[in-house]
Structure 1
Amino acid sequence: MVTKLYIDADACPVTREALAAARVQGVPCIIAGNSTQNLERYIHASDPREPQDPSRPDRGFWVDTIQVGVGADSADFAIASAVTPADVVVTQDIGLADIVLGRGARAIGVRGHVYNPLTIDSMMFIRHEEKKVRRAGGRTKGPAAFTDEDRERFSHNLARLLREAHQAG
C-alpha cells in the first residue's frame, strides 16, 4: 500500500514543514482545506501534481489539493473518507485524529504530538467536557502560543512517522 501524507490545512501552521518532509522522503501529499484558502501557495512550481509513473504511484513525491466547502469539518470528512492504514495525517482536530487512528492510520498534531490509539479516548473525553463547560458559559484554558520548539518537534516526529509508515507498507 502506498503511504500518503494528508494535511488538514484549516488553520495549520506547519503546512510548509509537512510538505518539506514529504519532499525529502518521497511521499505523495494531499492538502485538504476549505475553498476560502489558497492551498496552492504552499506548492512549489516544480512540484509534480500527480505520480510521475501512474503504474507506480508509490514512486516518489507529488502533491495535490482537495478544496472543500466552507462548512464545519468539510476538510476532515474529505480526509477521513480517503485515508488508508498506510497513511499519515497532520491535524489539530482530535476528532479527526480519532477517526484516522480508528482506520489504522497514523496522526500527528501541529505541535508534534503523535496521537496514540491508547490515549485518544481520554483526549476525546476531555474535549467533550471542555465543550460542555463552554456551552454553559464557562471558560477553558486555550492553547499556549505556538513556538519554534513546537515546529521543530513537529518536523522531527513527522519525519519519524513517515519513515515508520513507509517501512510498514
Structure 2
Amino acid sequence: MAQRTTDRPDRPTIFVDADACPVTAEAIAVARKHALPAVIAGNSTQNLARHIRRSDPREDSGGFWVDTLAVGVGADSADFAIVERLSPGDIVVTQDIGLAAMVLGRKASAIGVRGRVYSLATIDMDMEIRHQEKKIRRQGGRTRGPAAFTDEDREHFAANLDRLVREAIPRRTP
C-alpha cells in the first residue's frame, strides 16, 4: 500500500471502511476533488478495486491517489488495519461506532455513511446505546434497524464529507 507523503503532512488521508459501505464512490470523488489520498479498506473477499477508475493514480503522487487495503475476513480486521495506519487529522468513513470511537481517540475524524460527523462529546453515549441494543438482541429481543438508505442520505454524506475535508485542510495565505 502506498504511504503518506512526507512533504505534505498537513493533507489528510481519507480512509473508507468499505465493508457494506454505500458511499465509497462519493468518498473517492471528494478525495479526487481536493487532491487527497484515499484508502479503501475491506476484507479480501471483496473486489475493492472496482471503485477505482483506470485513470486514478495508485501511488503517492503528492496529491490524489487511491489504493486498496485488503484484510482478512475476521471480525473487525478492516477496523484495526485502518486504526494502525491513521495519523491525526485523517478522516475515516464508517458505519461502525466502535471504529469511530477509536478514530476519535487517535485525533482523527470519523463520518458515518449518512453524513453524521462523530464527535468526542457524543461518542460515549453512542457506544452505550450500541451496548444496550446488543444486550437486548442477545436476550432474544429485537431492536429497530436503520431506515432504508436514500439519495438524500448520499447527498448529505457528500456535503458533510466535503465540509469536513475543507475544515481539515489548512487555508493558504497569499
Q: Distance in 1 between matches of 2:149 and 2:170?
A: 31
Q: Distance in 2 between matches of 1:111 and 1:86?
A: 21
Q: Are 1:60 and 2:60 matched, yes or no?
A: no
1:100 equivalent in structure 2: 103
Which TM-score applies when normalising by structure 2?
A: 0.91
Q: Distance in 2 between matches of 1:85 and 1:144?
A: 32
Residues 69-115 of structure 1, C-alpha deviations (whole Å, 9 max, x = no match): 01111000100111111200000000000000011000000000000
2:45 equivalent in structure 1: 36
Which letter maps to 1:76?
D
Over aligned residue pairs, what C-alpha RMSD do you find?
A: 1.2
Instruction: Report the secondary structure of 2:169's partner residue.
Output: helix
1:14 is displaced (CA, Å) by: 0.2
Q: Distance in 2 between matches of 1:47 and 1:163?
A: 22
Q: Distance in 1 between matches of 2:169 and 2:59?
A: 19
Q: Distance in 2 between matches of 1:125 and 1:90?
A: 21
Selected match of 1:91 from 91, 94, 99: 94
Which letter maps to 2:111?
I
List, as ranges, runs of 4+ consecutive aligned residues in structure 1 with deviation greater than 6 Å: none
Q: Which structure 1 segments of 5+ residues have no match?
A: 53-58
Q: Which structure 2 segments of 5+ residues have no match?
A: 1-8
Q: Distance in 1 between matches of 2:14 and 2:140?
A: 38
Q: Quick one: percent identity of the two aligned structures?
A: 66
1:5 equivalent in structure 2: 14
Q: Distance in 2 between matches of 1:83 and 1:9?
A: 16
Q: Distance in 1 between matches of 2:168 and 2:122?
A: 20
Which letter maps to 1:137?
G
2:5 equivalent in structure 1: none
Which letter maps to 2:17?
D
Selected match of 1:152 from 148, 152, 155: 155
Which TM-score applies when normalising by structure 1?
A: 0.94
Q: Distance in 1 between matches of 2:74 and 2:126?
A: 24
